[in-house]
């Protein structure tokens, strides 16, 4: 797989363990991570949660497991794609190129830092640095959680349907459905330690309730 990526003009760094990934990740910059779920010293789901889910680098999983629950776990962690073995190397290259092309088509972020308040709490939202703080404490969102939150904040006070939210995530993955949105909204609420920031209108969608501070 490494040789085939090199033949297709990609620069590749190969790691054979979770610990090696953690070490290399601190030393180099990457555009994409390809993670085999089964590694000698751990599980890539846990590795992704620890290393990649609060970063801007997209990642995809390779696995021999066909159970739907494993696929859902990977996507809920923010994976850009999920490839089940056996697969052709040509297919992998196409998926990698598609993910990278989505990044080129991704929304451009504002340099503005906005501040929002609700019931005495404050959110600081920094688009360019992909940083969100709740009452001064940094909150780590996955790439998909970040883009969902971005869509809600940019339409503050407006109801966004699941379909409208999904349209903001097309640059991340083709394999998305309304259930994915609900799952990520649940995770965002948990990280914000309150359901008040995002309200649900039954069967219709979601709304961000923060008031913008000058």
pLDDT tens by residue, 108-149: 444 467 899 999 999 998 876 678 899 999 888 887 888 889
Report if pTM > 0.85: no
Which stretches of the chain drop beneath a pLDDT of 50? 108-111
Expressed in percent and rounded to 5, the helix, strand and coil fractions of the chain are: 40, 20, 40
The strands making up 131-134's β-sheet, listed across from edge to edge, are 137-139, 131-134, 121-126, 113-118, 211-213
CA–CA separation, 59 and 167 (whole Å)? 20
Closest among 59, 63, 15 to 36, alpha carbons compared: 63
Report percent pLDDT > 90 for the chain.
23
Range of the domain at 151: 113-213
Whether 94 and 122 map to the same domain: the answer is no
pLDDT at residue 34, rounded to an integer: 93
Rounded to 5 degrees, φ, ψ at 4 are -70, -40
Which CATH number is 151's domain given? 1.10.10.10
Final residue belonging to a domain, choices 57, 86, 105: 105
Q: In 185-206, which positions are buried (b, 16+ CB within 10 angstroms) versus exposed (e)?
A: bebbeebbeeeebbeeeeeebb
On whether the CB atoms of residues 172 and 155 are closer than 8 A, the answer is no
Together in a domain, 182 and 132: yes
Pair (126, 72) in one structural domain: no
CA separation for the pair 48, 211 (Å, rounded): 33
Q: Are residues 118 and 96 in the same domain?
A: no
Read off the DSSP letter of residue 119: T
The whole-angstrom separation of Cα 108 and Cα 49 is 25
CATH number for position 52: 3.40.50.2300
Q: Which of 55, 83, 105 is the last residue of a domain?
A: 105
Q: Are residues 148 and 129 in the same domain?
A: yes
75 and 29 in a common domain: yes
96/124 same-domain check: no
Can you give the pLDDT at residue 23?
86
Q: Say whether both 17 and 85 belong to one domain.
A: yes
CB 141, CB 149: distance < 8 Å: yes
What is the predicted pLDDT for the residue at 189? 92
Counting Cα atoms < 13 Å in the Cβ hemisphere of 52 gives 28
Count of domains for the chain: 2
* 119 plus 80 within the same structural domain: no
Question: Which of 105, 122, 145 is where one domain is finished?
Answer: 105
């Amino acid at each position: 797989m490494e040789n085939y990526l090199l033949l297709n003009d990609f620069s590749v760094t190969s790691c054979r363990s979770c610990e090696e990934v953690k070490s290399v990740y601190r030393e180099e910059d990457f555009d994409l991570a390809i993670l085999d779920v089964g590694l000698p010293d751990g599980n890539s789901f846990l590795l992704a949660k620890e290393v990649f889910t609060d970063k801007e680098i997209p990642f995809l999983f390779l696995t021999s497991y066909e159970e739907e629950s494993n696929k859902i776990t990977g996507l809920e962690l923010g994976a850009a794609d999920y490839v089940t073995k056996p697969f052709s190397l040509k297919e992998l290259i196409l998926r990698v190129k598609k993910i990278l092309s989505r990044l080129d088509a991704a929304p451009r972020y504002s340099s503005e830092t906005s501040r929002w308040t609700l019931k005495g709490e404050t959110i600081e939202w920094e688009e360019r640095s992909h940083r969100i703080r709740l009452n001064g404490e940094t909150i780590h969102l996955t790439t998909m959680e970040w883009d969902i939150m971005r869509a809600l904040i940019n339409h503050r006070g407006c109801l966004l349907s699941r379909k409208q939210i999904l349209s903001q995530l097309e640059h991340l993955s083709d394999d998305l459905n309304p259930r994915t949105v609900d799952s990520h909204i649940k995770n965002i609420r948990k990280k914000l330690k309150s359901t008040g920031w995002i309200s649900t209108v039954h069967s219709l969608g979601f709304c961000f309730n923060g008031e913008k501070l000058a």
